Amino acid sequence: MKIKLPCSQFSYPKKLLLLLMKTFIFLLCITAFGLSPKSSYSQDKITISKDQVVTINEVFHMIREQTDYRFIYSINSFKNTPKIQLRKGEFNIENLLKRFINKGDLDFDISSDHIITIKKTNEIIEEKPVSKTNIQEIEIKGQVITALDNVPLPGASILEKGTVNGVITDFDGKFSLKVKNQDAILVISYVGFATQEIPVNGKTNLNIILKEDADSLEEVVIVGFGRQKKVSLTGAVSTVDMEDMKTNPTSSVSNALAGNVPGVMGMIQSGQPGRNISEFWIRGISTFGGGSSPLVLIDNIERDLNELNIEDVKSITVLKDAAETAMYGSRGANGVILITTKRGSDGKIQINFKDEFIYNTRTITPDFEDGITYANLLNEARITRNEGPIYQPEELEILRLGLDPDLYPNVDWKDQLLRDGSMTYRVNLNMSGGGPTSRFYVSGSYINEGGMYKIDESLKDDYDTNANYKRWNYRLNADFNITPTTIAKVGVAGSISKRNSPGLGDVDFWGSLFGYSPIRTPVLYSNGYVPSIGTGNQTNPWVMATQTGFNENWVNKVQTNVTIEQDFNFITRGLRMRGIVGYDIENINNIQRRKWPEQWRAARARDANGDLIFTQISDPAELNQSGNSSGNRLEFYDLMVNYDRSFGNHNVGGALRFTRDAFIQTVDLGTDIKNGISRRNQALAGRLLYNWNERYMVNFNFGYTGSENFAPGQQYGFFPAISFAWNIAGEKFVKDHLSWINLFKIRYSYGKAGNDQLAGGERFPYLYTISELFRRDDDGNLIQPLEPTGGYQWADYGSDRYYGGIIYSQVASSYVTWEVATKQNLGFDIETRGVTANLDFFKEERSGIYMTRNFLPAMVGLESTPRANVGIVKSQGFDGRFLYRKQLGEVTLTARSNITYSKNEILERDEENNVYAYQNQEGFRVDQSRGLIALGLFKDYDDIRNSPTQTFGVYQPGDIKYKDVNGDGVVNDGDRVAIGATRRPNLIYGLGASANWKGFGLGVHFQGAGKSTFSTFGKTVHAFSEGEWGQVMKGVMGDNRWISADISGNHSTEDPNASYPRLSFGPNPNNFRESTFWLRDGRYLRLKTVDFGYQLPESITARIGVQNLRLYLVGTNLVTWSKFKLWDPELATPRGEDYPPIKSITMGISVNL
């Protein structure tokens, strides 16, 4: 049968779609058929994801799941063996088995084909005649405490040696055990502590002290060249606890990073469905040139993390200093985020299901004054500026009583347009498993985010104007053991998303809501006519939101990658090679379906019959469609050779890596020929490392990177870095006298990383660009009438025929080259019993920042100035993390915090010589706010006469008074100075705690931002600055504003310290200037998440046939504390005209089969 594809929103060829479908099915089939019992090579370590108390059989199950090992043992061998305590981390399998099997009369043997045989030891005990006292059981009682802080250790294993007789300690670390006789030996163990054997020797009460065993835990992290032990790291690296991420109900990974990971700073950009993401940086902003966003690599390929299904993420690592980012050359200056996705493991198939229902509201939505208040303020604004009132007393009374809603309406547009809340639905299903020769992970997810725009119920069957976002994600990761030394890994992933919005878009929606006053027009006239005062963005907000059609934005992404890993141990131990090929496709379609109703405006008076007098504003327009599309693809190649080897206490390693990628725009190329040229980068990177006994460590990295943006001779840059670390905890004097310290490491790194991102996305700055003075159509013909592009034009005398020349639209800059970040980092890592702390101090100088030359003599004669590497920015700060875990019986307590502080300063920037040095940008922060210094309000005309002259138009008592900074007797733009800070906070922090007991879990997390300021302005803040266009926001005037005594009848209202100046009608060039008067504090503290969950006990889940079942309730963004109350301070926007961040309650269920 022939498959016929239906019409699609995407422009993919049918053959490509069929090929992808067949490939996906083929990989899934061969993975499933590969679940055979044939032998293969496996890893000798397993990862424990969380602290837990388990049986020996459960330990065997974990080993089988993550490795190729199989077990042979008597079914009753561990019938009476007590449960054991496992701590989170990575464990060597042999060491783990020794710890828990060799305690009793059992031993184990590992064969070459990965079969672990467990049997009783061959020890023969000679029978001796014993007295009756020796054969009589005795009861031993005692308590186990830690050597570190002398606190009880619950969950420790107490075993009588040579038997399976044992117990575990209770909440207070106490135990009671009956042993055969007084000659028995007790074996006391707890993962993370050194095992002890204590002879009873007739004692019946024992106090046992366990010391930490630092060698039992070997945690590893993902870095640029692969996996590395945490103890041997020399660079600044932060990892994300994926257990914490599981309780964060967000569809965007970026929203989960800021305030959770030291070194990551971010701000939510919007709460709109599909755009509810965060802008984020690593260690702040260090440049004013090109981009400042970090490089994000998903499975080693640059991809968008906001389209990623968070349930597919296995680990997230943030690389912060040059020791870790130098290898990325031109891409590493702004830091790197490495994300690895989940893969299958050897063992039976695991199925995980997660279902969430989320109720959303808004954190803070501005409120507006009602109609009567608005009318009175409008009158005051005109009267206080010597203009007549618009509303007479009798009209105000009609408005107050609501007697004529057609001509004197009082509309709450916020209530008319916005719902109180919306629903989001999210579901995820994944499955993983495999056999010795192949393993797989496959997942699918769906999210439907509802918006909070009201719709016209009469049109809901035709189309939906509400904001909405839907996304479907899928992923298949499959691994195949081609030979005992060769592994092939295949990944296919993708997403399809659809975002819906009102016909004129979200920007005009919010602009109209904020702009249309409550007394302008009713929602509908009483005769059913649609009212409006104009067209475009001044359309009736209800019409704007519900009657102008709708927009759809479709995005389809397909991401594929194939990896081959080859082990060359047969040549020399520790030699490996990895090759990656990636191919991604993205297609975007924007569809606009627009319509207009017939719109009318009623005169302020009625006719002789009392009927409304209408003027038609616009004709109706039926629904029509238009659209545009764009597309691109990414080609990626990566080849890396790794060598790691240990010679006694000497550990050496090295790596060499070559990468090349090409980004090609495939659709909507436009007329600029540069759009058809692929964006290419290639790089060679290397690493050499050495450590002695994991005590003294040195690491050298380099990146040699090429970029298309620079001229021949400037295209390649070399970016080296060197780092050192000293693990003081490994020294003998620490082990002997401070054995409670597991890790105390000092790190230092110095190096360089590059940045080739140019401002505005420019390309090829070393080439001249020549443009005509008149525009041509797509066929190359001059557009008539002529449309000049700029520059000179001329014509013959008396002729209407014009001629145009050509101009340099881009002046070549042949010596433009890399923006270079020189980074230093000093770090400290400390781990003790239950406590982990990391602290890093960093300093960076970003030189060669690419920018337009601003100081160029006019005699040079250039229409546009060239670009050059002339900027320098210095930044410095610190970031850190603190984690405390405590096990109290069956209660697990966790406290955590993180902090990031960063401050920058412009050292050099090409700018015109200002008359006053304080107006230069050098010496101040990037994006520093600038304005006048407000001294309050003018008290009276004497105050005006005795103050420096202000050159911003006419001003009166009650208007803003500014400081004459330069003392020349005049206040003008020469008195503008740096004010406040920047809108991006220089401090981000997070605080949290959690507790778990018998399946119940409770956690809270706070996130906050430190010093930041932003200016407020616009039609709702500067009341009546655009006449009658603009609502008046509640709270913007504070508790008191300046009011003339002629209006209030009381001179006390003429307060020079009032919170709001004298009202104005229309533009006020004196008051509505950027100044400290309108500067607001952006600091805040937010209750980011509160989560409560319950995991059903095994006795229940076993009956219903599931492995784990967890029910949970999560609250997000529940409370915000801030001095700024008008809108959400995290947005830091000057107008507040945007979809507010979301406050939500999530109810969910997670099931593991």
**pLDDT one-digit tens code per residue, 320-332:** 999 999 888 777 8
Output the pLDDT for position 185: 87
Greatest CA span in the chain, whole angstroms?
A: 135
Question: pLDDT tens digits for 524-571?
Answer: 999 999 998 766 556 789 988 998 899 999 999 999 999 999 999 889
Q: Is residue 114 part of a domain?
A: yes
Q: How confident is the model at residue 152 (pLDDT cuts 50, 70, 90)?
A: confident
The number of CA neighbours under 13 Å toward the Cβ of 628 is 4
Window from 294-303, 474-483, 608-617, 1097-1106 with minimum mean pLDDT? 1097-1106
- Lowest mean per-residue pLDDT among 281-285, 809-813, 935-939: 809-813
Is the peptide bond prior to 1141 cis by the omega test (within 30 degrees of 0)? no
Count of CA atoms in the C-beta half-sphere (13 A) of 1077: 29
CB-CB contact of 878 with 861 (8 Å): no
End-to-end CA distance of the chain: 37
| Domain co-membership, 115 together with 174 | no
- Burial environment of residue 431 by CB neighbours within 10 A (0 to 12, 13 to 18, 19 or more): middle
Question: Do 140 and 100 share a structural domain?
Answer: no
- The span from the CA of 863 to the CA of 853, in Å, is 12
pLDDT at 7 over 50: no
Residue 130: pLDDT over 60: no
Residue pair 282/316 in contact by the 8 Å Cβ criterion: no
Torsion-angle region of 155 (φ positive above 0: left; ψ -120 to 50: alpha; else: beta): left
Do 100 and 165 belong to one domain? no
Domain identity same for 50 and 90 = yes
Q: How many CA atoms, within 13 angstroms, populate the side-chain half-sphere of residue 700?
A: 5
Q: Which of 608, 693, 616 is nearest to 648 (CA)?
A: 693
Total tally of structural domains belonging to the chain: 3
So what's the pLDDT on residue 589? Answer: 94
What is the Cα–Cα distance from 1104 to 1115, expressed in whole angstroms?
Answer: 29
764 has a pLDDT exceeding 90: no
Nearest to 757 by CA among 677, 703, 842, 821: 821
**Does residue 987 belong to any structural domain of this protein?**
no
Among residues 216, 245, 271, which one ends one of the domains? 216
* Contacts by 527-532, CB closer than 8 A, 24 or more apart: 527/612, 529/598, 529/600, 529/602, 529/614, 530/597, 530/598, 530/599, 530/600, 531/599, 531/600, 531/601, 531/602, 532/599, 532/600, 532/601, 532/617, 532/618
- Provide the pairing of β-strand 977-978 with 196-199: unpaired
Closest CA to 1023 of 1075, 1048, 1060, 1077: 1060
Considering the domain boundaries, does residue 1054 fall inside one? no
CATH number, domain at 210? 2.60.40.1120
Classified as helix, coil or strand, 45 is: strand
650-654 contacts at long range (C-beta below 8 A, 24 or more positions apart): 650/690, 650/692, 651/232, 651/689, 651/690, 651/691, 651/692, 651/694, 652/689, 652/690, 653/574, 653/687, 653/688, 653/689, 653/690, 654/686, 654/687, 654/688, 654/689
Instruction: Please say whether the beta carbons of 426 and 418 come within 8 A.
Output: no
For the ranges 119-133, 268-282, 641-655, 737-751, the lowest mean pLDDT is seen at 119-133
In a domain, 1013, yes or no: no
**DSSP per position, 818-852:** -EEEEEEEEEEEEEETTEEEEEEEEEEEEEEEEEE
Q: What is the pLDDT of residue 36?
A: 41
Residue 90's pLDDT is what?
67
Q: pLDDT value at position 780?
A: 58
SS3 446: strand
- Look at 1056 and 536; give whichever has higher pLDDT: 1056
Mean pLDDT rounded to a whole number for the chain: 84
Residue 1114 tokens, joined: 């999560």
Q: How confident is the model at residue 970 (pLDDT cuts 50, 70, 90)?
A: very high
**Would you say how long the chain is, in residues?**
1153
- CA distances to 268, 471, 696, 1087 from 252, rounded to whole Å, are 11, 12, 40, 18
pLDDT in tens, 48-67: 766 666 777 777 777 776 77
pLDDT band at residue 516 under the 50/70/90 scheme: very high
The confidence score (pLDDT) of residue 61 equals: 72
Separation CA 557–CA 494 (nearest Å): 5
Domain containing residue 783 = 769-810
Q: What is the pLDDT at residue 495? A: 95
β-bridge pairing 1000-1009 and 987-997: antiparallel
Residue 566, pLDDT score: 94
Q: What is the dihedral of CA 219, 222, 225, 231, to 10 degrees?
A: -30
* Within-domain flag for 799: yes
Q: Are 520 and 408 in contact (CB under 8 A)?
A: no
Domain membership of residue 916 (yes or no) is: no
To which H or E segment does residue 20 belong? helix 14-33
* Tokens (6 digits) for 484: 């005992």
pLDDT 10s digits, 38-50: 333 344 667 776 6
Q: What's the confidence (pLDDT) of residue 799?
A: 60
pLDDT of residue 6: 37
Rounded to 10 deg, the angle between the 56-66 and 93-101 helix axes is 170
Number of H helices, E strands in the chain: 15, 60
Alpha carbon 278 to its chain centroid, in Å, reads 5
| Domain edge (last residue) among 85, 120, 155 | 120
Mean pLDDT of 869-891: 90
Higher-confidence position of 358 and 249: 358
**144, 212: one domain:** yes
pLDDT tens, position by position, 806-837: 667 777 777 888 889 999 999 999 998 789 99
**One-letter amino acid for residue 640 of the chain:** M
The pLDDT value recorded for residue 216 is: 42
Q: Which residues contact 132 (CB under 8 A, 6 or more apart)?
A: none
**CA 598/CA 613 separation, integer angstroms:** 16
Mean pLDDT check: name the lowest of 804-808, 1041-1045, 1143-1147: 804-808
Q: Are residues 209 and 175 in the same domain?
A: yes
Q: Closest by alpha carbon to 43, among 345, 321, 279, 256?
A: 345
What pLDDT score was predicted for residue 127?
Answer: 40
Same domain, 202 and 166: yes
Q: Would you place residue 581 in the very low, low, confident or very high pLDDT band (cuts 50, 70, 90)?
A: very high
Tokens encoding 1103:
């009956």
Residue 395 belongs to some domain of the structure: no
Query: What integer pLDDT is reported at residue 76 of this predicted model?
Result: 60
Q: Are 557 and 307 in contact (CB under 8 A)?
A: yes
Q: Using the 3D structure, point to which of 746, 779, 810 is the last residue of a domain.
A: 810
Residue labelled with tokens 């920015």: 873
| 115 and 140 inside one domain | no
393-401 vs 371-383: helix axis angle to the nearest 10?
160
For 31, the enclosing helix (H) or strand (E) is: helix 14-33
CB 833 within 8 A of CB 886: no
Q: Which residue has the higher pLDDT, 210 or 81?
A: 210
pLDDT of amino acid 215: 47
| % of the chain at pLDDT higher than 90 | 47
**Structural domain contains residue 508:** no
pLDDT confidence of residue 222: 77
pLDDT of residue 737: 86
Is 370's pLDDT higher than 60?
yes
Predicted confidence band of residue 868 (pLDDT cuts 50, 70, 90): confident
C-alpha distances in Å from residue 843, one per residue of 359, 606, 903, 1011: 43, 72, 10, 20
Which of 258-272, 469-483, 756-770 is predicted most confidently? 469-483
- In terms of Cβ atoms closer than 10 Å to its own Cβ (0-12, 13-18, 19+), residue 83 is middle
| 151 and 182 together in one domain | yes
Q: What is the CATH number of the domain that holds 101?
A: 3.55.50.30
Rounded Cα distance between 490 and 492, Å, is: 7
* Of residues 160, 148, 151, the one with CA closest to residue 189: 160
Task: Kindly state whether residues 113 and 185 are assigned to the same domain.
Answer: no
Q: Is the pLDDT of residue 18 over 60?
A: no
Pairing of strands 70-72, 115-120: parallel
Query: How high is the pLDDT of residue 34?
Result: 46
CA distances in angstroms from 638 to 225, 559, 568, listed in the order given: 12, 16, 18
How many degrees, rounded to 5, is the angle at CA 291 between CA 288 and CA 294? 120
Alpha-carbon 194 to chain mean position: 40
The pLDDT score that the predictor gives to residue 35 is 45
List CB contacts of 515: < 8 A, sequence separation 6 or more: 537, 538, 1019, 1020, 1026, 1029, 1030, 1031
Give the pair of three-digit tokens for residue 810: 């881009």
Rounded to two decimals, what is the model's pTM? 0.81
pLDDT score of 126:
42
Question: What pLDDT does 1107 receive?
Answer: 84
* Token pair for 961: 């008074």
Count of other CB atoms within 10 angstroms of residue 990: 21
Q: Quick one: 91 and 142 in the same domain?
A: no
Q: Is the pLDDT of residue 23 over 70?
A: no
What integer pLDDT is reported at residue 725 of this predicted model?
96
Dump pLDDT digits (tens) for 586-605.
Answer: 999 999 999 888 989 899 88
Nearest alpha carbon to residue 289 among 832, 755, 782 = 755
Contact 1070, 415 (CB under 8 A): no
As to burial, measured by CB atoms within 10 angstroms (0-12 exposed, 13-18 middle, 19+ buried), residue 755 is: buried
